[in-house]
Amino acid sequence: KNEVEQSPQNLTAQEGEFITINCSYSVGISALHWLQQHPGGGIVSLFMLSSGKKKHGRLIATINIQEKHSSLHITASHPRDSAVYICAVRGGTQGGSEKLVFGKGTKLTVNP
C-alpha cells in the first residue's frame, strides 16, 4: 500500500463544476503539499498545509490531521484548470531527511 493515496485517478468535468480531489496518507507528517503538473512536466506548488484550510483564488485546500486526509477543491472550474494534481507529504522517515512522498496524481480534464 502506498503511503499516499489519491482519488480519483482521473476526473472529467464540465466547465463551471465544483471539483474535489482527495488525498489520504498513512504516515505521520509535518506538512502536506498540493502541486499542479501540466503536460511537459513542470510542477507548480499550489499549497503547503500543516493544519486547517487555505484558499487561493478558486482553489481551496483542507487537511484533517487526525483522519490523515486532505482535499483540494476547485470552484467554478475552467478548461485551463486541466492538469495533473499531485498530493505530497513531508514526514522524513529516512535518517532525518526531509523528502516529499508523492501520490500518483489525479488527472483532471475540464471540458468547455
Chain residues in the site for another protein (CB under 8 A): 4, 30-31, 33, 35, 40-45, 48, 86, 88, 90, 92, 94-105
Query: For residue 80, what are the CA distances in angstroms to 24, 45, 70, 84, 95?
Result: 26, 16, 23, 12, 40
**Beta carbon nearer to another protein, 17 or 46:** 46
**Beta carbon nearer to another protein, 35 or 110:** 35
**Beta carbon nearer to another protein, 48 or 65:** 48
User: Of 49, 50, 47, 34, nearest to 83 (Cα)?
Assistant: 34
